[in-house]
Amino acid sequence: MFNNFIVSLFERLFFKPTIFHWFFIILLSPLSLIYGLSMLLRRLLTTEEDFQIPIISVGNLIVGGSGKTPFIISLAFKYKNSYIISRGYGRKSRGLIEVSSRGKILIDVFNSGDEAMLMAKELPNSSVIVSKNRKEAIRLAKERGARVVFLDDGFNRVDIKKFEILLFPKEINNYLPFPAGGFREFYFSKIFADLNLIEDRDFRRVVTIKNPTDRMILVTAISNPKRLDPYLPKNIIKKIYLKDHSYFDKNDLKKTLSTLNGTSLLITQKDEVKMSSFNFPLSIMILKLDINSVVFNNVDRYIKKFDIISKKNRTIDNG
| Average per-residue pLDDT for the chain | 91
Check residue 58 and give its pLDDT. 97
268-298 pLDDT per residue, tens = 999 999 998 899 999 999 999 999 999 999 9
63-73: average pLDDT: 88
120-137 pLDDT per residue, tens = 999 999 999 999 999 999
Q: Where are the domains of the chain?
A: 205-289
Check residue 17 and give its pLDDT. 81
- Per-residue pLDDT for 310 more than 80? no
Check residue 2 and give its pLDDT. 43
Q: Can you name the CATH fold of 205-289?
A: Rossmann fold (3.40.50)
- Per-residue pLDDT for 16 more than 90? no
The pTM for the full model equals 0.90
Q: Between these two residues, 241 and 312, which has the higher pLDDT value?
A: 241
Check residue 3 and give its pLDDT. 57
User: Which residue type sits at 113?
Assistant: G
Helix orientation angle between 114-122 and 68-76, rounded to the nearest 10 degrees: 30
